[in-house]
Structure 1
Amino acid sequence: MNIALVLIIVIAIVVAIVSGLNAALSWLLWVALIVGVIALIAFLLRVIGGRKA
């Protein structure tokens, strides 16, 4: 019974860590996409505007 309880606790901790990392990675992915779109817009404005910086 104690071994089963320890096993359940370990599985719960692993699932919590994995789901937390998955949520963090998902959030970072959205941030990276937004920053990438902003950088692309800035690059296109620079190319269309013809300014050299």
Structure 2
Amino acid sequence: MRIGCYLDTGNKIDCVGCEACVQVCGKNAIRMLEDEEGFRYPATDGSKC
């Protein structure tokens, strides 16, 4: 979902780890983090938007 100038990456349950959001972000504001179980999920840095 798009919220303002950035993609909403807040729901990691819906994330499959494909990193498509990272690839389409023209501002390099999305990066993948790893949770305590080793699953990767996106995190958005809104200051880069």
Name the TM tier (shorter chain).
Answer: under 0.3
Larger radius of gyration: 1
Higher strand content, 1 or 2: 2
TM (norm. structure 1) is 0.18
- Higher RCO (Cα < 8 Å, 6 or more apart): 2
